[in-house]
Structure 1
């Protein structure tokens, strides 16, 4: 019997035991956890997250605070993932190979992003993608979920071959016995108020029965009587009911509230930009206000439209949103950064539809 046949037999035996009611809950291991956005979707899908691995100390502080608040027992490993030994971790978590239900993560995407320099795996951050394979080799999870930017599909390998990195990833997972499926999904198609297109890879032991979810929403212009979809959820709907920004209390932001941290300079630059447009396009405004922006700067100092989904939210980039406008006094208040994060919360919850595996 070949190694692949033995692996398949091992997994079938585990699944047979679970079908007899010998398990309590699905288990998951989170890699590249960040502040826990993807974790929210995984938990909403019914998984218990055994551990999170993340290097950023502030993100880990957020993870721990949420774990305490939710009264969970998830272990937070604040460490460079390359320094974590999965063979020791699997023992620490009390698991054997093949018992973990889901291994998931969104490895760093900067080196594959179409808006970056695209150094691919010539940048050490690009090589972190293959940490998913290293952990899968030890844990042998029933399913693997990887989220990445679509630029991974044509990222160059060591021989500068477009798409080579993606092929290497799929091939290495196949060597472990996994069959992979992948698809580009737009978060707005599933009720998220943001146009966010990302690549999702789902790997299981063959045969891979996973089916990507059918879109539930779409642009109004593409709606048809025969295949009617709900219209995209808009920025205005997502932020409806957002109250007035609060003040810090004893240096802390109160629960269930938001803080306005918009710099005064940004308030000046964004003034006069209508909804759905950006500063560089406003040629009627003084040159000193438009600064050195060119026609290509379509996302810098952009004001979102309340009647459309948000543009893709990226780290280090802030979109503005009109809260109120009193025409008589020309007073204008813009949405703060935390309100932008409110949209992000909706984004991570879309992961729920992606991890409903049928074991």
Structure 2
């Protein structure tokens, strides 16, 4: 059975990891998380309890990424949210996407999946999404995004999120 090595940045309590591992299992694929990172100490504790893996802290202190095939990242959304101040890249949290780009330069994964609020799509008249797309494409990746509502996946909430990614297929 093929094993996919992945990285979980801005891991929170592990929601993206849980979904990724479940999807991989449904395709008869093994997974191995080779690095996780989360700055919030309470979230780190829950993640450790959930996965027996303690995430590293601040992403800005990670020098380089280990070998992996897939990069997961739910980067901070407060700067792009309809409910927030909408400061985008003018807010330190909004600039953390560029830390992902910096780390991609240290080891280029085959694919990535990023998650954020739907406000990212329209933020600053669409220029924020175009900037992110430009950063990704300048590294040689294709770029797609799509919106999903959690209510369509048997979850008891109505929460629309944007997923950014590179098209890929997994071959055994």
Within a 5 Å distance, the mapping from 1:339-350 to structure 2 comes to none
**CA–CA distance in 1 between the matches of 2:51 and 2:155?**
25
Q: Which has the higher strand share?
A: 2
- 2:45 — aligned with what? 61
When normalised by structure 1's length, the TM-score is 0.44
When normalised by structure 2's length, the TM-score is 0.88
* SS at 2:143 equivalent: strand
* SS at 1:129 equivalent: helix
- 1:113 — aligned with what? 81
- 1:129 — aligned with what? 97
> How many residues are treated as equivalent by the alignment?
165
**CA–CA distance in 2 between the matches of 1:24 and 1:186?**
30
**CA–CA distance in 2 between the matches of 1:45 and 1:34?**
19
Structure 1 ranges of 4+ moved more than 4 A: none
Which residue of the other structure, out of 146, 150, 159, is the alignment partner of 1:183? Answer: 146
- Tell me which structure has the larger Cα radius of gyration: 1
Q: CA RMSD in A?
A: 1.7
Structure 2 gaps, min length 5: 25-30
Structure 1 gaps, min length 5: 1-22, 69-73, 157-161, 211-356
**CA–CA distance in 1 between the matches of 2:54 and 2:22?**
18
Q: Relative contact order (alpha carbons < 8 A, sep ≥ 6): 1 or 2 greater?
A: 2
Q: Are 2:125 and 1:166 equivalent residues in the alignment?
A: no
**CA–CA distance in 2 between the matches of 1:41 and 1:67?**
13
Q: Are 2:117 and 1:149 equivalent residues in the alignment?
A: yes
* SS at 2:105 equivalent: helix
Map Cα deviations across residues 43-84 of structure 1 (whole Å, 9 max, x no partner).
Answer: 21233211210111111111222233xxxxx4621x211121
Which residue of the other structure, out of 26, 35, 52, is the alignment partner of 2:13? Answer: 35
